[in-house]
Amino acid sequence: MEYVRIGTRSSKLALWQANLIALALSTKYPEVKIELVHVTTKGDKVLDSPLSKIGGKGLFTKELELAMLEGKADLAVHSLKDVPVELPPEFTIAAVTKREVPFDAFVSNKYKSFAELPKGARVGTSSLRRRAQLLAIRSDLQIDNLRGNVDTRLKRLDDGDFDGIILAAAGLKRLGHERRITEILPTSLMLPAVGQGAIAIETLTNNTELVNMLRFLNDKNTEAATNAERAFLKVVEGGCQVPVGVFGKVEDNKITVAAVIASIDGQKIISDKLIGSVENSVTLGKTLANKLLDNGGREILSAVLS
């Protein structure tokens, strides 16, 4: 190929990720011209409502897919956590990059740890997953909606709107805000979102030349871990905004998948984990999902989605 056009959102984090892939491609294929194509998605336009209330799947991906179908872009770079677990047949994830820190970060200007938050402290997050897990441990907290890009969220914290906020550690690190991290939240307190910390490169399924070109970017351990996570999510609800956390970790050809389903108020919470071979990562994710659903998760999600 003589040139490759990379579709990307225009946020600082999205551009950081797109430029990372552009650099990797230009290094691997110096003869190929790389161009970024900026696309605005529905999730970028609606900033005054929680994602859970906007509705629909692919809030940050549909317009990028349309750009590929219309021949305006050859591939799209996404945060994997934004990619629906079921893609239209025209599209494929050609590569999943090596994962950055997949966990959530507590950021505060007043308190040195999450445990130090006083009773009734105000915490900012727009994620139902984070809200539910926080309230399961600290039902006294006031959890308030926080949307916008990383800089916008940090500014609201700095303006005194919150005692602390929860952000993905990966985004903070990638944008040079690692020093702002007060505490990386352990998985015992907060399981991350599906695919958190990983970058996905999506392209047209029938563009086999480009699919093959992109495979060098794929990290097998990250792919196995996130495949298990996405398989879990596909079984429990398919990609809408619900209070579900899941994390796959690969070590010595074994994969451990831990997951949680919680009510939005944190009063009902079901968690478990399974260990199996990397080759069976998808099956493991599905099995764990069905186990949690059978143990009460189905009733929790029915209440959330009703």
Residue tagged active-site, from 74, 82, 104, 163: 82
Same domain, 19 and 86: yes
Residue 191 lies in a domain: no
Structural domains counted in the chain:
3
The verdict on whether 151 is a catalytic residue reads no
Instruction: Please check whether residues 225 and 138 belong to one and the same domain.
Output: no
Select from 152, 177, 25 the least CA-distant residue to 101. Answer: 177
Check which CATH number belongs to the domain holding 257 and give it: 3.30.160.40
Tell me: do 75 and 211 sit in the same domain. yes
Contact 300, 261 (CB under 8 A): yes
Each of the 306 residues of the chain gets a pLDDT tens digit; together they read 899 999 999 999 999 999 999 999 999 999 999 999 999 876 665 555 555 454 555 677 899 999 999 999 999 999 999 999 999 999 999 999 999 999 999 999 999 999 999 999 999 998 999 999 999 999 999 999 998 889 999 999 999 999 999 999 999 999 999 999 999 999 999 999 999 999 999 999 999 999 999 999 999 999 999 999 999 999 998 555 689 999 999 999 999 999 999 999 999 999 999 999 999 999 999 999 999 999 999 999 988 877
Q: Which two tokens stand for residue 260?
A: 């949680």
The answer to whether the Cα torsion of 302, 260, 62, 125 is positive or negative is: positive
Q: Identify whether residues 88 and 14 lie together within a single domain.
A: yes
Domain that holds residue 129: 104-184
Q: How far is CA 270 from CA 203, 234, 235, 245, in A?
A: 36, 18, 16, 11
Whether residue 273 lies inside any domain: the answer is yes
Domain check: are 119 and 253 in the same one? no
- Say which residues have a Cβ less than 8 Å from residue 6's Cβ, sequence separation at least 6: 18, 21, 22, 34, 35, 36, 37, 73, 74, 75, 76, 77
